[in-house]
Amino acid sequence: MDQPRLVGNVNRRRFLKTTAGAAVAAWSLKGAARARAAARSDRARAAEPNPKRGGVLKWAGPAEVAHFDVHQGAFRFVLGQMYNNLVRFNPADGLKTIIPDLAESWKVSSDGKTYTFKLRDGVKFHDGTPFSSADVVATFSRIVFPPAGMASIYKDQFSAVAKLEAIDRLNVRFILKEPQPYFLELFTPSSMIIYSKKALDENNQDLRKVIAPGTGAFMFKERKVAEKWVMVRNPNYWDPEIPYLDGIELLHIPAWTDRGTAVLTGQADYSPNVSLETHQEGIRRKDIVGTVRYPGEFNSYQVHINNERKPFNDPRVRRAINLAVSRQNLIKAFGTQEPIMLTRWMTHASEFATPLKELEALPAYRADKSADLAEAKKLMAAAGVADGIKNVDFVSASVAPHAEILAPAFQDELRRTLGIETKIRVMERALLIEELKKGTFDMMVQTEYRSPIGDPGPGWEMCLKTGGSLNFSRYSNPEFDKLLKQINSERDKGKRKQLFAQGMALLDQTAPLYLIGFTDHLPMWRNTVKGHNSEARVFSELGRVDTFWLDR
């Protein structure tokens, strides 16, 4: 995929012939060049023609970090604004296609095992250090083969990488153990930023305490802890067209309602996710704000069922629960909090997801429960628990939506339909992880069933494969593991879709957990904010704001 060149300057000549004055000509020339640049599909651009320049965007969201090392878990959406990836999703088409970022182009070998990235020349980090293949190798070596003492949280995602190496100053090669159809997409999240080798070496491979210079469109200016981050435009950015903004202020507003009211009242220009009630108010206030719902793959709600504890180690019991408990009822009960969407084992945004109409007719997913309930009772009887189950330990985080809505609603469904009596054990959210790791629960309301990218493959690896890092239900099924290996190495999309369908059918039967659904995202923006293209988005990678512009 080579970089296309700007085509000719015929328009420019014609234009100059018709302009009256040199000043006007110069101004218009700049505008025409921008319009052409905006039309190019391989660089991040605002979707709208002729974006205006200047202004400071106030972004409202979770803008606090525990430290500054993204690859060790620092909050990526804040820090990511100062860096680049190798590739990224295209903001102009709602983050649907992959376009170059620091990699100018890339090639995939015919066996799908070698990815060669040609890097952009002339790029510099904010401290003036030139960018080269050494930085890419240093960055990903640290992720894939972390040094002692480093908590590389993205290591598992790159487990297919056997080797990575610099071919020369501007070419890098990743060699995989086996082909991975989603490998390129793994480089797109804002967590996959490139650090400079110099910064890594100077800090002993640990950037938790330093804000390392990036190559990104914005440079660090100021951080007020738990209040805001201030970043300014990088005047030497390698792409002269962007950013359109002079700077950004990332306001730390943890509460979704506060984010919504901040945008509604003009204290913030944009928020990636607001509360349902402020989103609804936003719909009524189209004169000042815009807001949409788009499907996300990051947030889900589920009830983990401990597959190692009796009687839930029997797939018939788990299947019975999945058949009997009404997802529609749970979604309705939670409707005042967040819009959960009906789905089947993966985000509803995925191209591999079962279409909603088809899903609504499937057992366990349909609204009419009469047939499902009869089947569930048969399964319970066959598993020897026809009279129900007593004293089930049901853990929930102490946050109100979990402890006061979802857990009681699920408890009521279980009791009414299958005679399963649960005792809700509420505990602080921060402590759930210990319970999950130890497996000291029968059931638990949780939110960590997801995939790191839009493709559900790596998500299934983490959440459903035997020993997966987020497999908190302790599901272990060799048949599924074998199928998953096939899914995650099959490069033909059609075949892969069939394999995913087989996987979902298998999961329906063996029911590792009870997935309620994935949530929709609710961004809101002042009408003056352009270049985000939220209306076209299909998944929830919040992304960078380098293509945002202010129509003031």
Partner 1 sequence: MRKYLAQRLLIAIPTLFGVTLLIFIAMRVLPGDPLSAISGEGAGMYVLSKEQLQAARASLGLDRPYVLQYLDWLQDVVRGDLGKSFWRGEPIRELIVRRAPITGQIALMAVVLSWVIGLPVGVIGAVWRNSRTDYVFRLVVTLFMAIPSFWVALMIVLSLVLTLTWRPPLTIAYLWDDPVRNLQMTAGPALALGLALAAMMARITRSSVLEVLGEDFVRTARAKGLREAVVVRRHALVNAMLPIMTVTGTALGALLGGSVAVERAFGVPGLGLALVFAVAERDWMLIQNLVLLYGVIFVLINLVVDVSYGWFDPRIRYQ
Shortest CB 541 distance to partner 1, Å = 13
Which of 5, 17, 357, 437 touches partner 1 by CB under 8 A? 437
Alpha helix ranges (H) inside 424-517: 432-438, 456-463, 478-487, 493-510
Amino acid at 213: P
d(CA 126, CA 218): 9
| Shorter beta-carbon distance to partner 1: residue 170 or 248 | 248
Shortest CB 450 distance to partner 1, Å = 8
Place of tokens 């159809």: 181
Among residues 120, 118, 81, 79, the alpha carbon closest in space to that of 102 is found at 120
Strand ranges (E), 353-477? 389-397, 420-427, 443-446
160 binds partner 1 (CB under 8 A): no
| Shorter beta-carbon distance to partner 1: residue 255 or 386 | 255
545 binds partner 1 (CB under 8 A): no
Taking CB under 8 A as the binding criterion, the range among 39-47, 238-246, 345-353, 426-434 that sits at the site for partner 1 is 426-434
Please state, as a whole number, how many other Cβ atoms lie within 10 Å of the Cβ of residue 238. Answer: 18
66 binds partner 1 (CB under 8 A): yes
Query: ω into residue 363 within 30 of 0, thus cis?
Result: no
Which of 167, 255, 361, 374 touches partner 1 by CB under 8 A? 255
Shortest CB 267 distance to partner 1, Å = 6
447 binds partner 1 (CB under 8 A): yes
258 binds partner 1 (CB under 8 A): yes
| Shorter beta-carbon distance to partner 1: residue 273 or 533 | 273
For residue 128, the number of C-alpha atoms closer than 13 Å in the C-beta half-sphere is: 0
d(CA 78, CA 306): 36
Longest CA pairwise span in the chain (Å): 90
Backbone angles phi, psi at 322, to 5 degrees: -65, -35
| Shorter beta-carbon distance to partner 1: residue 173 or 429 | 429
Which of 14, 163, 221, 224 touches partner 1 by CB under 8 A? 224
65 binds partner 1 (CB under 8 A): yes
Shortest CB 44 distance to partner 1, Å = 24
Tokens at 68, concatenated = 């500054």
The vertex-275 CA angle with 274 and 280, nearest 5°, equals 100
Strand ranges (E), 149-246? 161-168, 171-176, 218-224, 228-233
d(CA 521, CA 468): 27
| Shorter beta-carbon distance to partner 1: residue 120 or 259 | 259
429 binds partner 1 (CB under 8 A): yes
Considering only residues 262-301, where is the footprint of partner 1 by CB under 8 A? 262, 264-268, 281, 285, 288
Question: What do you get for the CA distance between the two ends of the chain, in Å?
Answer: 37
| Shorter beta-carbon distance to partner 1: residue 417 or 519 | 519
Which of 226, 235, 467, 494 touches partner 1 by CB under 8 A? 226
To the nearest 10°, report the CA torsion of 430, 212, 547, 115: -90
| Shorter beta-carbon distance to partner 1: residue 23 or 430 | 430
Shortest CB 428 distance to partner 1, Å = 7
Taking CB under 8 A as the binding criterion, the range among 42-50, 65-73, 197-205, 306-314 that sits at the site for partner 1 is 65-73
Query: Residues 42, 44, 49, 54: is their CA dihedral positive or negative?
Result: negative
What is the secondary structure of 95-133 as a DSSP string? S-SEEESSEEEEEE-TTS-EEEEEEPTT-B-TTSPBP-H
250 binds partner 1 (CB under 8 A): no
> Do 407 and 417 contact (CB within 8 A), yes or no?
no
428 binds partner 1 (CB under 8 A): yes
Q: What is the helix (H) or strand (E) element at residue 317, kind and residue range?
A: helix 315-324
Which of 321, 436, 484, 507 touches partner 1 by CB under 8 A? 436
425 binds partner 1 (CB under 8 A): no
434 binds partner 1 (CB under 8 A): yes
Bridge partner list, 300: 518
Considering only residues 320-349, where is the footprint of partner 1 by CB under 8 A? none
446 binds partner 1 (CB under 8 A): yes
Taking CB under 8 A as the binding criterion, the range among 110-118, 319-327, 364-372, 445-453 that sits at the site for partner 1 is 445-453
Among residues 80, 162, 78, 170, the alpha carbon closest in space to that of 122 is found at 170
Taking CB under 8 A as the binding criterion, the range among 62-70, 172-180, 412-420, 515-523 that sits at the site for partner 1 is 62-70
d(CA 222, CA 4): 37
Please state, as a whole number, how many other Cβ atoms lie within 10 Å of the Cβ of residue 90. Answer: 21
Considering only residues 76-105, where is the footprint of partner 1 by CB under 8 A? none
64 binds partner 1 (CB under 8 A): yes
222 binds partner 1 (CB under 8 A): no
462 binds partner 1 (CB under 8 A): yes
Among residues 276, 288, 263, 315, the alpha carbon closest in space to that of 474 is found at 315
The vertex-141 CA angle with 136 and 144, nearest 5°, equals 125
Taking CB under 8 A as the binding criterion, the range among 164-172, 196-204, 434-442, 516-524 that sits at the site for partner 1 is 434-442
210 binds partner 1 (CB under 8 A): no
207 binds partner 1 (CB under 8 A): no
Taking CB under 8 A as the binding criterion, the range among 148-156, 175-183, 328-336, 386-394 that sits at the site for partner 1 is 148-156
**Total of chain residues touching partner 1, rule CB under 8 A:** 52
Give the footprint of partner 1 on this chain (CB under 8 A): 60, 64-67, 73, 149, 151, 153-154, 156-157, 209, 224-228, 251, 253-255, 258, 261-262, 264-268, 281, 285, 288, 397, 427-434, 436-437, 446-448, 450, 452, 462, 469-470
